[in-house]
Structure formats: C-alpha cells, structure tokens
C-alpha cells in the first residue's frame, strides 16, 4: 500500500515562512534576493528572520504553526491524530497569516481598538509577496491534506486540495473585494454618520430620479440602465431567435455565413460597433453628411444618447442571443414536433403549441443573458452615451472624475450588483426548473418540421435587413481606419496604422517599436497569454470538481462560482482598486491585479464549458481509472483531459480573447506601466482620434482570429475510433 | 497471474450509507470469505450498487467500518485499496487502445510501460482476446468489450474484484456463456469476487453465497441451495424463483417437526423454530402434483393451461386460492376446466414466519 505524506505542502509553507522574503519587493524578487534569511532590511527578510531579528513578533504564530505541522507531515503511518494535527496546524497557520496581515498595515495597527488594547505599534508592514503567498498555499494544502486524511472528500487529497484552492481564491479575489467595496457605502461622510451617509448615497436623486416622466431631462441612472437593458434584451432576443430559426429550420443558402455571427461577439473589441455607428450617424457621419448636402437637413446628434447606445448594444448582443438560442432551437427533439404533426396539428399549430413553449425557457435565458450583458456594458455607453448616463459610466466618473468619490461608486455598484443578482436568480429559476432541451447524446432520429410560412417570412423580414446593417456597420468601422479624417478629408491613407504600429531602425540597425500602440499591445498579449491557461486550468478543475465529486459544501462552491459571473465588470474593477490598494494584498498597479481580474472574470466561462463537456462523459470512466490505482491527478491527466480537448480549446480561446477585449473592469486597474489595448483605444476615442482607434481594433480582430486558429492547432484532436463510443462524446466546440 | 493466489476476506462492520434523507444502505454486517464469489441480489433500488461502491471506495460510508484482509480500509481512497471493479457500462477509455486500457492500472501502479504491456498481453490472452490489443474499444463487440473490462481489472491481481451487473448489456445467450467464464476464472485464480445482479438465475448459477437485499438491508444470506430451499421470508422465497404463497396453521410441534394444516391437507414439515399458530407456507410450483379427479388430495379445477415444450404450466383454482403449477414430462396437456386432485410434495414446501 502506498504511504503518502504531506511533506510537500509542508516544505512549501516552510519555504515561504523561513527562507523567501515575506513581503512584496519594490523591484520584484531577484535571484539574489530570494534567500532572505539574515537580511539587514526587515522588508526584504523572511518571516522567521523578521520575527527573530527585527522584533516583528506577529510572525511567531506562523512559525509556531509550521513547527506544529512538521511531525504530522512526515511520512510515517496515518493515524487519525496525525490527520487532526495536520488540519489544525494548517488552519492555524492560515489564520495567523490572515490576522496579522489584516491587523497590521502601513500605519501600524489597522484598527484603533488594537492600538488601545496593545499600545502603539512603532512598526508597519507592506503587502505580502512571494513568501507570504507560498506560505498561504502551503498551509492551505496542509489543512486540506489533514481534512482528506480524516476521511473528508472520500480521503482524496487531490480533490480536497483542489476544493481548497478554488474556495480560497474565490474568497480572496471575489468575495473579499466585493464585500470591501460594499462596505465603502457605509463610510461616514462630512457631518453624516454611517447610516446617514448610506441613505444619502443610495437614495440619491441622480440614481432614482423620475423627472424625465414630467420634464425634458434625464431620469436617474437606475431607470436609464433598466430601460436600456430591457430594450436591448428584448430586441436582441427577437433578432437572435429570427437568426436561429433561419439557420436551423429553413433552406436558407447562406447558413454558413450566419454561423459566422457566433464568432463575431467573441472577437469584436467592445467599441467597434459604437465607432461604426458614429462614422455612419455621427455629426460628421455618412448619413448626416448626405442629408446635409442633398436635403440641407441637419440631423444633429441624435446618435449620442439612449437611441445610439441601444442600437449599438443590439448590434453587439444579438450574436450572443443567437449563440444561446441556436442551442435551444437545435435541442428540441424533432420527435416532439413529428408527434404533433401525426396528431393532425397544422404546422402553425405545431409551432405555436409545441415548438414555442418548448423554447420558452431558452428564450427567457437568452433575454436574461443579454440583460446582464447590457447592464455591465461600459464600452457602448461611454462612446455613445453623451449626457445619457447609465450605472456603469456613472461609477466610472465617480472614481476617475475630479470627485474621486468611492462611497458613491460603491453605492452605485451596490445597486448594479442587486439588479444583476435579481436577474441572475431569475435566470437560475427559469432555466433550472424547466429546461426541456433534451440533449441525450442518443441519436435522435427524425426531421424538424418546417416553419409555418408566416413565421418564416417574419424571421426573414427581421433578420435579413439587420444582417445587412451589421455588415455595413463593420465595414464602415473598418473603413474608418483607411481615410484621413472621416467626414472631412476622405483621402485614403495608412497614416493611422503608421502612427500606431510604426517600426523604425536605428542607424546601427536595431529595431525600435516607434508606434504609439506597441506598448499596450505587447502588454495586452502577454497578460492575456498568462491569464488564459490559468483561467482554463482553474475553470476546468472547478468544472471537474463540481461535476464529478460529491462533498459537503459543493452546492455552496457552485453557487459562489456562478455568482462571480453575476458580478458586473465595473463592480469588480472598483472593488479591486478599493481592496488591493492597501496591504495585506497591495497589487494595484502591478500585472498581478490585471491577471487576477482576467482569471476571475472569465472563470465561469471555463467552468461552464467544462461542466457541459463533462456531463456528456460517462462518470464511470473516471471511477474506473481510480479503481485502477491511478491517482486522481493521473486520472485527470490521462482520461479526463484527453476526452475534454474541445472544452479545453473553448476555455482557452474564450479566456484569451476575452482578456484582450474586456474593458469594463480593467479601465480601473491599468497603470502607466501596464496599459491595456482596450483602454488605449478608449482614450483615443474620448479624444476624438477615431482613425487610430479603429486601426487598432482592426489589428486586434486579426490577431484574435490568428490566436483562435493557433490554439486549435496546438491542442489537437481527440482520437476515438470509427464508431463513437457510447456515452463518451463531448459536444464539439463551436469556436 | 498465479493460480495459487487467493483473494482476501472482506468484512463490513455496521456499514451504512445515507444521502441526505434517503437511506441507501441501512447499517449492516457482512463477511465475505476469501476466495469466494458472493452475489448481492435484489430488486432495483435496494442498495446493491451503493454497497458495492462502498467496498470499492467510490462512496464513503456514513457509518461503519470496512476491513479487507485485516486492514481497516474505511478512510482509504479507491486507488489505495487494491480492489478492482468491472463497471456495468465497462467504462473502457475510448481514446486508448485495448492494450493501453488493460495496461493502464499497471502503469498507474508504477510499472514500466514495456512490462505493463507484456502483462496486459497475457491478461488479454486469459480472457481469449489475444491479438486484439491494437484496436480501440469502439471497434469491439459488446461481449469483447466486457472481456477487456474483466482483463483490465484482473491484471492488477486485486485482493477483491467487484462486478456491478456486468452482463446486463449483453444478449441472453452471451450472458450465459460470459457468466460461466467469470465463474471459471474466479475459481481458477481463487479470487474474492463480489457480484451485483438483479437476475436470480444468474446469482444461482455463479455464487458460492448469495446475499439477498431488500429495502436497503439484507433480507437473507446463504448458499444458493439454502436460499432456494429454506427461505426465511416470503420475499426471499418469491425472489429466488417462482413460489406459491399460502396461509396455513401449525397445529403442534414435536421433535422439531411441525404439523401444518393447509385447508384439508396435513403435512409434517421441519418447524424451523416456529411456534404453533398461523404460518406462511411457500410451495414451489414443481412441488405441486396434479392427479386425476378423485385421487387423494384437495379438489381443484384447472383455469389456465400452457404448453412450454419441456414442461407444462397450469393455474389451478383450489380452496387455498389460485396455485401456479409446473408439471414436468407431461405428454398431453390437461385441458382447461378439468377437475383435478392437488397434492403437495413436502420436498418443495417450507414454512416461514408470517
Ligand atoms: N447519489 C445519490 N443521491 C441520492 N440518492 C441516491 C444516490 N445514489 C443512490 N441513491 C438512492 O439509493 C438507493 C439505492 O441505490 P442503488 O444502490 O443504486 O440501488 P441498486 O443498485 O440496488 O439498484 C436508491 O433508492 C437510490 O435512489
Ligand atoms: Mg445498481
């Protein structure tokens, strides 16, 4: 029998506590700085050395927990007592780290009552760095090892560790920031106590005002947001359904091209549509110019405001609705409709009485998905909103504006979070209970009944003009990159590309990236490339744990994960700067905060594609591997992962591409050193430099297509043989 | 694979499993001797699979302990128990060749790939699949896939081998031959096997002992003969084969023999510790004899008659109720409606606690 020991996590914790510098180093950890015992400078020393030589007593509990764990971590037998000691020591170590980190900050004690109790502390500390991180991981895995050895998680240390890691990272990177942000609503202001300040912030007329119903002014941003999200969701769902019906139920010739629609939202940077609309309907847009020169009419700035944002959102989110609905429409078992027709129902009656009701939960789902996307959308309102404010832009201006009012931002974000949560819970209710879509994996023979003529005509009448418009918007948007000044000087030029991506050679032949966009492009690509594998790995791990393991707290973990999906990007952005500005985790302005943001914003996508694929993979396959003495990790590596390749591709592509196109959260997190492409573009747009912005977007689109192709090539295909094995065929990824 | 190897004893001590409010297995004790084949038999949903998976380590018992050999395995994970399982769906890895599938467990245990494949070849030969190693599982028939699954489990020389309804995906003829192969292999290698099935004839054919389960608990355990001939409850009697359930009375007990009154009939049957009073009587259909009207016995009338080739089946209406009768070696079928005399053969009749 194998004797397993917990020496590895112990060594990790020991390395972090004893050897490596505990705190974040100003210039990063250098090779010579890694060994941090015996340092003169307390900030560069390891925890043990700080406690021993610099009088930082608060590290002694951490060291003590480490010492306590050692005997139990050694490879000898497996008594129940050892397991308990291990768990307790791991838990104590974590607790000690967290408590000292929260209690002692840059100004000594973090809370006044601590100073009152223990007296002034004439010392301080900065955020944790490599040492602290390693130690936390080490103690975490000691704890999970101990729990597994006590029989939790079926005695499986890997599962236990995975759950610990997931739970820990959700707490640190989602729950904690969101709660910190929400607590900002309560900070007292001027003469107001916390409750007064809260009321003042939340009950703001700028949020709830209904003046627009009586006078010609803007309503509160809450109503604006709600109206916009409702209108966008309704229109996008209707359009998405038309496209889905045409793509699956008619003999329409250009179906392949329609499928292209599913890729568009993934690779389109968030303001391409907005820019396209400006170039068509803006003050110097094509339509306005024509109207002026032919009819002498001034169309004005109508595109800036509700109408424009709504139009842009419908363009942006129709593909999303289509993506959701095509699965729904395809998923309806043809035999249901065939049954209906054999029961003498007409095609119209079949559609109305069978097809439509079966699709209803799917429609509701699509509606809610778009609703939440619209709620969190930042790119379109910032480009086209004008004086029409929504929650996301209002939060942005509360933070970056002259006022720097975090309390107000927190209150707005709280309202937004509430709306998102309500929508999210509704969606779970609608979809959870009544999903009729029957994806059994069994070949369901039969043909879908053709659409009734009326429905077919309606679908075409809605979808075709829209498809045409979409193409025009995209073309215009891209054409803008190739003329000097849109609307005034139509001379073709590559000047915008040159300004963004010029390459020059010095006299001695060295290459200079002279264009203004290179810096942000490299940053974006490298951070996205770092984040994507982490996102995919963590997401699939979570999917596997959720789909395959049963343990206490599983539903809680699942709910917490899905909840991260409901938190809008703007909220996350504000929450991150508020939380990570100060120790114990002082990562604002670093690459870490951006990568963390990407990973935890996109995690749910990885989880969902993983869970979907996993649910089609016969569970007894992993169980067989486990009974064949494969370690859980080996089971994952040799059985689950090879069969999940399509899901891996999906997760990687999504994680990479979304990291490159996201803007709502990162706009708060970028710094001069780490500037992201999207933020660079939005700054150009705000300055009215459309040409360069569009040129950059075009380059991003091409890059992302290349990346998708490359990832698909790298991950490769599954080999399953000529007959596909029963129960072991995950759905192909449509990417 | 050595023929001298003997499987280990398995002891379940007060083991039980609950899923929230649902009790899948009530706490029970069971000892499975080393080198024997024990079947868990029972209707669907009675907890057989759950019990088996607890032995495998795929399910954590809510209470109780599990010993294999002398070692307490309760807290060990599936991979650490030296137990192999053959799944109902076979669970062959679809992306690996047959040989890789069989070698998988060996490689997991740290064997070099070359050695593992050699052993896997040998195991494939044991189950009669020499030369199939390079194929993918999807390129085999159902029966062949089943054999690969068995080879994959066997090659690890597990101390206990578990089968969960291994034959339910095969057709009737293949089922019969596969079950004989499994039994022969188990006896040749001296394996400890726990075998789950809901098919009583399969259980009777392969088992050293049968554990009949009902409603998450053990109804009765014993050898096939014991269970068939001396069921302890009407449930076990009817589950182990066709049986007529009658109500009678014990008039008195003398020297361990009970005088049982069934309507007009009187028998002396082993008392099995039951006191005088009402009692349930179980009569196998082949223990009921039909004679021409007027002969000794209870009067009856045939209400249904079916010719089955090797035997005939009747339903006879009697003062005790409808009786199901199997009459062997009968050339001519007694016509429906004819009056008969009904006698019971004490060999096939037992009394059970009501
Ligand atoms: N994961 C589970 N959650 C809840 N109930 C379960 C679960 N697995 C099995 N059960 C219940 O436990 C009982 C026994 O199931 P099982 O052992 O599969 O029966 P069998 O194999 O005898 O048909 C059934 O009532 C089943 O519904
Ligand atoms: Mg079962």
- CATH code of the domain covering residue B330: 2.40.50.140
Domain boundary among B202, B234, B266: B234
A650 in a structural domain = no
A223 in a structural domain = yes
Do A403 and A266 lie in one domain? The reply is yes
Q: How far is B231 from chain A (nearest CA, A)?
A: 35
pLDDT, residue A437, reads 43
Domain boundary among B213, B234, B255: B234
A677 in a structural domain = no
Contact A623 B156 (CB under 8 A): no
When divided into structural domains, chain B yields a total of 2
Do B124 and B194 lie in one domain? The reply is yes
Q: Which of A43-52, A177-186, B19-28 has the highest mean pLDDT?
A: B19-28
What are the structure tokens assigned to B274, written together?
């039951």
A401 in a structural domain = yes
Ligand 1 contact via B48 beta carbon (within 6 Å): yes
Do A33 and A131 lie in one domain? The reply is yes
Sequence-distant (≥ 6) Cβ neighbours of residue A342 within 8 angstroms: none
Do A118 and A259 lie in one domain? The reply is no
A687 in a structural domain = no
B95 in a structural domain = yes
For residue B280, what pLDDT band results from cuts at 50, 70 and 90?
A: very high
Q: Which of A299-308, A381-390, A705-714, B27-36 has the highest mean pLDDT?
A: B27-36
For residue B159, list chain A residues with Cβ-Cβ distance below 8 A. Answer: none
For residue A685, what pLDDT band results from cuts at 50, 70 and 90?
A: confident
Do B256 and B148 lie in one domain? The reply is no
Do A134 and A282 lie in one domain? The reply is no
In a 13 Å sphere around the CA of A548, the CA atoms on its Cβ side amount to 31
Do B137 and B160 lie in one domain? The reply is yes
pLDDT, residue A718, reads 55
Do B217 and B274 lie in one domain? The reply is no
Do A385 and A281 lie in one domain? The reply is yes
B65 in a structural domain = yes
Displacement of CA A40 from its chain's centroid (Å): 42
Do A222 and A140 lie in one domain? The reply is no
For residue B2, what pLDDT band results from cuts at 50, 70 and 90?
A: very low
* DSSP-assigned letters across all residues of B1-69: --TT--PPPEEEEEEEEEETTEEEEEEEEEEE-TT-EEEEE-STTSSHHHHHHHHHTSS--SEEEEEET
Domain boundary among A371, A398, A433: A433
Nearest to A130 by CA among A39, A7, A35, A9: A35
Q: What letters, b where the CB count within 10 A reaches 16 and e where it falls short, cover A200-211?
A: ebbebeebebee
- Check whether B41 has a pLDDT greater than 60: yes
- Check whether A434 has a pLDDT greater than 90: no
Dihedral sign of CA atoms A418, A423, A426, A427 in order:
negative
Q: Is the pTM of this model over 0.80?
A: no
- Check whether A734 has a pLDDT greater than 50: no
Q: CB count, 10 Å around CB of A551?
A: 16
Query: Residue A326 is part of which domain span?
Result: 218-433
- Of chain B, the percentage scoring pLDDT greater than 90 comes to 51
Nearest CA to ligand 1 atom 25: B45
**Mean pLDDT to the nearest integer, A439-458:** 63
Q: What is the pLDDT of residues B43-99, one digit of tens each?
A: 999 999 999 999 998 888 999 999 999 889 888 878 788 898 898 888 888 888 999
Do B138 and B228 lie in one domain? The reply is yes
Displacement of CA B165 from its chain's centroid (Å): 10
Instruction: Say if B215 is an interface residue toward chain A (CB within 8 Å).
Output: no
Pairwise pLDDT comparison (B118 vs A351), residue with the higher score: B118
Contact B83 A627 (CB under 8 A): yes
CA distance A246 to A263: 17
Do B132 and B256 lie in one domain? The reply is no
Nearest CA to ligand 1 atom 21: B49
Do B128 and B246 lie in one domain? The reply is no
A506 in a structural domain = no
Do A113 and A230 lie in one domain? The reply is no
Q: How far is B123 from chain A (nearest CA, A)?
A: 15
Q: Which of A32-36, A61-65, A180-184, A673-677 has the highest mean pLDDT?
A: A61-65
B2 in a structural domain = no
B292 in a structural domain = yes
For residue A215, what pLDDT band results from cuts at 50, 70 and 90?
A: low
pLDDT, residue A436, reads 47
A569-580 and A391-400 are packed helices; what angle lies between their axes, rounded to 10 degrees?
20
Q: What is the pLDDT of residues B100-156, one digit of tens each?
A: 999 998 888 888 999 999 999 999 998 889 999 999 888 888 889 989 999 998 888
Nearest to A164 by CA among A134, A139, A132, A127: A139
Do A366 and A239 lie in one domain? The reply is yes
Nearest CA to ligand 1 atom 5: B19
pLDDT, residue B124, reads 93
Q: What is the pLDDT of residues A233-292, one digit of tens each?
A: 999 999 999 988 888 777 777 777 777 766 676 678 877 888 888 888 887 788 888 888
pLDDT, residue A444, reads 42
- Of chain B, the percentage scoring pLDDT greater than 70 comes to 98
Q: Mean pLDDT across chain B, nearest whole number? A: 89
Q: How far apart are the first and last CA of chain A?
A: 45
Domain boundary among A383, A404, A433: A433
A221-249 and A306-331 are packed helices; what angle lies between their axes, rounded to 10 degrees?
40
Residue of B nearest to A730 (CA): B94
Most informative mutation of B47, B48, B198, B219 for ligand 1 (most atoms within 8 A of CB): B47
pLDDT, residue A353, reads 75
B1 in a structural domain = no
Write the DSSP symbol of residue A482.
G
Most informative mutation of B17, B28, B45 for ligand 1 (most atoms within 8 A of CB): B45
Residue of A nearest to B91 (CA): A621
pLDDT, residue A449, reads 67
Percent helix, strand and coil across chain A, each rounded to 5? 70, 5, 30
pLDDT, residue A341, reads 67
CA distance B190 to B2: 10
Do B206 and B267 lie in one domain? The reply is no
- Check whether A214 has a pLDDT greater than 80: no
Q: Mean pLDDT across chain A, nearest whole number? A: 81
- Check whether B190 has a pLDDT greater than 80: yes
* Kind plus residue range of the DSSP H or E element containing B205: helix B200-206
Do B282 and B211 lie in one domain? The reply is no
Sequence-distant (≥ 6) Cβ neighbours of residue A96 within 8 angstroms: A61, A62, A64, A65
Contact at 8 Å (CB) between A146 and A93? Answer: no
Pairwise pLDDT comparison (A138 vs A701), residue with the higher score: A138
Nearest to B90 by CA among B21, B135, B148: B148
Angle at alpha carbon of residue B164, lines to B158 and B170, rounded to 5°: 115
Contact B77 A626 (CB under 8 A): yes
Q: CB count, 10 Å around CB of A468?
A: 10
CA distance B57 to B81: 7
A43 in a structural domain = yes
Domain boundary among B199, B234, B269: B234
For residue B85, list chain A residues with Cβ-Cβ distance below 8 A. Answer: 623-624, 627
Contact at 8 Å (CB) between A75 and A5? Answer: yes
Q: Which of A1, A2, A718 lies at the smallest CB-CB distance from B95?
A: A718
Do A121 and A238 lie in one domain? The reply is no
User: Which residues surround the ion ligand 2 when the cut-off is CB under 5 Å?
Assistant: B 49
Of A84, A151, A628, A727, which to mutate for an interface test with B (greatest number of B Cβ within 10 Å)? A628
Nearest CA to ligand 1 atom 2: B19
Pairwise pLDDT comparison (B15 vs A272), residue with the higher score: B15
Q: How far is the CA of B47 from the centre of ligand 1 (A)?
A: 6
For residue A225, what pLDDT band results from cuts at 50, 70 and 90?
A: very high
pLDDT, residue A735, reads 29
A265 in a structural domain = yes
Which range, of A517-526, A705-714, B19-28, B210-219, averages the lowest pLDDT? A705-714
Q: What is the pLDDT of residues A18-68, one digit of tens each?
A: 988 898 887 777 777 778 777 788 888 888 888 888 888 889 999 999 999
Do B248 and B191 lie in one domain? The reply is no
CA A516, A521, A522, A527: dihedral to nearest 10 degrees?
A: 140
When divided into structural domains, chain A yields a total of 2
Do B40 and B174 lie in one domain? The reply is yes
CA distance A693 to A275: 9
Q: What is the pLDDT of residues B226-251, one digit of tens each?
A: 999 899 999 999 998 889 999 999 99
Contact A155 B57 (CB under 8 A): yes
CA distance A592 to A586: 10
Contact at 8 Å (CB) between A607 and A560? Answer: no
pLDDT, residue A724, reads 36
ipTM of the complex: 0.73
**Mean pLDDT to the nearest integer, A661-688:** 86
Query: Residue B319 is part of which domain span?
Result: 242-352
Instruction: Say if B93 is an interface residue toward chain A (CB within 8 Å).
Output: yes
pLDDT, residue A719, reads 53
- CATH code of the domain covering residue A241: 1.10.3720.10
Q: How far is the CA of B56 from the centre of ligand 2 (A)?
A: 14
Q: What is the pLDDT of residues A88-125, one digit of tens each?
A: 999 999 999 999 888 888 888 888 888 888 777 778 88
Angle at alpha carbon of residue A479, lines to A476 and A484, rounded to 5°: 125
- CATH code of the domain covering residue B20: 3.40.50.300
Q: What is the pLDDT of residues A138-178, one digit of tens each?
A: 999 999 999 988 878 877 888 899 999 999 999 999 999 99
Do B173 and B297 lie in one domain? The reply is no
pLDDT, residue A439, reads 38
pLDDT, residue A216, reads 66
Cα→Cα distances B119→A425, B1, B82, B92, B152, Å: 55, 8, 17, 18, 10
For residue A628, list chain B residues with Cβ-Cβ distance below 8 A. Answer: 79, 84, 104-105, 108, 152-153, 156
pLDDT, residue A124, reads 80
Place of tokens 């764990």: A69
């Amino acid at each position: 029998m194998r004797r397993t020991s917990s020496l590895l996590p112990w060594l990790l914790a020991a390395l972090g506590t004893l050897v490596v510098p505990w705190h974040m180093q100003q210039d990063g950890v250098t090779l010579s700085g890694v060994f941090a015992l015996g340092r003169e400078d307390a900030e560069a020393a390891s925890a043990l050395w700080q406690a021993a030589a610099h009088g930082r007593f608060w590290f002694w509990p951490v060291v003590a927990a480490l010492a306590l764990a050692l005997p139990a971590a050694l490879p000898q037998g497996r008594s129940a007592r050892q397991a308990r000691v291990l768990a307790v020591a791991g838990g104590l170590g974590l607790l000690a780290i967290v408590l000292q980190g929260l209690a002692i900050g840059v100004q000594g004690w973090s809370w006044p009552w601590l100073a009152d109790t223990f007296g002034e502390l004439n010392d301080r500390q900065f955020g944790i760095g490599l040492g602290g991180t390693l130690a936390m991981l080490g103690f975490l895995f000691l704890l999970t090892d101990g729990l597994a050895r006590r029989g939790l998680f079926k005695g499986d240390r890997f599962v236990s560790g995975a759950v610990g890691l997931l739970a820990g990272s959700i707490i640190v990177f989602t729950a904690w920031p969101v709660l910190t942000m929400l607590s900002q609503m309560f900070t007292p202001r001027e003469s107001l106590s916390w409750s007064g300040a809260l009321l003042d912030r939340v009950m703001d007329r700028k949020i709830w005002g209904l003046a627009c119903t009586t006078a010609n002014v803007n309503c509160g941003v809450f109503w604006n947001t709600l109206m916009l999200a409702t209108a966008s969701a309704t229109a996008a769902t209707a359009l998405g359904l038309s496209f889905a019906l045409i793509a699956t139920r008619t003999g329409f010739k250009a179906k392949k091209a329609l499928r292209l629609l599913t890729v568009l939202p993934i690779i389109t940077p968030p303001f391409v549509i907005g820019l396209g609309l400006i170039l068509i309907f803006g003050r110097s847009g094509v339509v306005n110019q024509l109207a002026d020169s032919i009819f002498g009419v001034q169309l004005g700035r109508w595109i800036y405001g509700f109408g424009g944002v709504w139009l842009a959102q419908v363009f942006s989110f129709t593909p999303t609705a289509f993506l959701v609905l095509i699965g729904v429409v395809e998923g309806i078992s043809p035999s249901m409709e065939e049954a209906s027709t054999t029961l003498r129902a007409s095609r119209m009656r079949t559609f109305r009485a069978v097809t439509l009701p079966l699709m209803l939960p799917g429609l509701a789902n699509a509606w809610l998905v778009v609703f939440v996307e619209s709620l969190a959308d930042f790119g379109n309102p910032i480009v086209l909103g004008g004086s029409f404010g929504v929650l996301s832009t209002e939060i942005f201006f509360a933070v970056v504006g002259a006022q720097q009012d975090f309390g107000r931002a927190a209150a707005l974000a709280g309202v937004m979070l509430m709306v998102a949560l309500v929508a999210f819970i509704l969606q779970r209710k609608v979809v959870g209970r009544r999903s009729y879509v029957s994806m059994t994996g069994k070949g369901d023979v039969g043909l879908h009944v053709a659409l009734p003529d009326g429905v077919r005509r309606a679908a075409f009448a809605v979808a075709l003009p829209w498809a045409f418009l979409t193409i025009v918007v995209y073309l215009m948007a891209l054409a803008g990159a190739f003329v000097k000044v849109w609307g005034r000087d139509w001379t073709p030029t590559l000047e915008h590309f040159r300004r963004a991506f010029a390459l020059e050679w010095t006299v001695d032949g060295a290459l200079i990236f002279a264009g203004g966009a290179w810096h942000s492009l490299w940053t974006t690509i490298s951070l996205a490339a770092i984040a994507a594998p982490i996102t995919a790995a963590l997401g699939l791990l979570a999917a596997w744990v959720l789909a395959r393991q049963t343990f206490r707290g599983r539903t809680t973990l699942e709910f917490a994960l899905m909840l991260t999906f409901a938190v809008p990007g703007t909220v996350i952005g504000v929450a991150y700067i508020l939380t990570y500005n100060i120790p114990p985790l002082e990562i604002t302005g670093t690459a870490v905060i951006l990568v963390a943001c990407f990973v935890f914003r996109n995690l749910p996508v990885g989880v969902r594609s993983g869970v979907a694929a996993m649910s089609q993979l016969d569970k007894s396959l992993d169980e067989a591997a486990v009974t064949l003495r494969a370690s859980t990790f080996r089971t994952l590596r040799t059985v689950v992962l090879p069969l999940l390749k399509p899901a891996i591709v999906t997760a990687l592509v999504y994680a990479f591409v979304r990291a490159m196109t996201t803007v709502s959260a990162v706009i708060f997190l970028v710094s001069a050193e780490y500037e992201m492409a999207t933020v660079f573009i939005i700054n150009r747009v705000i300055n009215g430099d459309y040409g360069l912005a569009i040129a950059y977007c075009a380059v991003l689109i091409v890059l992302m297509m290349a990346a998708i192709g490359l990832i698909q090539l790298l991950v490769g295909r599954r080999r399953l043989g000529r007959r596909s094995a029963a129960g072991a065929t995950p759905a192909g990824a449509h990417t | 694979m050595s023929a001298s190897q003997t499987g280990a004893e398995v002891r379940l001590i007060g083991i039980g499993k609950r899923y929230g409010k649902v009790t899948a297995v009530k706490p029970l004790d069971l000892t499975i001797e080393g080198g024997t084949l024990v079947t868990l038999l029972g209707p669907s949903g009675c907890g057989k699979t759950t019990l088996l998976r607890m032995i495998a380590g795929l399910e954590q018992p809510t209470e109780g302990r599990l010993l294999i050999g002398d070692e307490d395995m309760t807290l060990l994970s599936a991979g650490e128990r030296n137990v192999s399982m053959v799944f109902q769906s076979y669970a062959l890895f679809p992306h690996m060749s047959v040989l890789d599938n069989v070698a998988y467990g060996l490689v997991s245990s740290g064997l070099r790939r070359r050695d593992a494949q050699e052993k896997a070849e040998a195991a494939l030969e044991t189950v009669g699949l020499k030369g199939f190693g390079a194929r993918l599982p999807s390129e085999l028939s159902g029966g062949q896939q089943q054999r690969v699954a068995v080879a994959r489990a066997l090659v690890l020389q597990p101390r206990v081998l578990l089968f969960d309804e291994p034959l339910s995906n095969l057709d009737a003829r293949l089922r019969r031959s596969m079950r004989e192969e499994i039994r022969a292999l188990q006896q040749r290698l001296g394996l400890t096997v726990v075998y789950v099935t809901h098919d009583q004839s399969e259980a009777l054919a392969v088992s050293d002992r049968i554990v009949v389960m009902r409603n998450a608990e053990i109804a009765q355990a014993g050898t096939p003969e014991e269970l068939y001939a001396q069921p302890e409850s009407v449930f076990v009697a009817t589950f182990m084969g066709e049986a007529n359930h009658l109500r009678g009375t014990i008039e008195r007990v003398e020297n361990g023999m009970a005088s049982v009154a069934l309507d007009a009939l009187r028998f002396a049957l082993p008392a099995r510790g039951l006191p005088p009073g009402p009692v349930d009587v179980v009569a196998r259909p082949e223990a009921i004899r039909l004679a021409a009207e007027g002969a000794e016995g209870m009067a009856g009338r045939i209400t249904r008659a079916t010719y089955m080739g090797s035997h005939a089946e009747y339903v006879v209406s009697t003062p005790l109720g409808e009786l199901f009768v199997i009459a062997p070696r009968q050339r001519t079928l007694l016509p429906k409606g004819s009056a008969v005399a009904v006698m019971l053969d004490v060999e096939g009749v037992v009394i059970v606690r009501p």
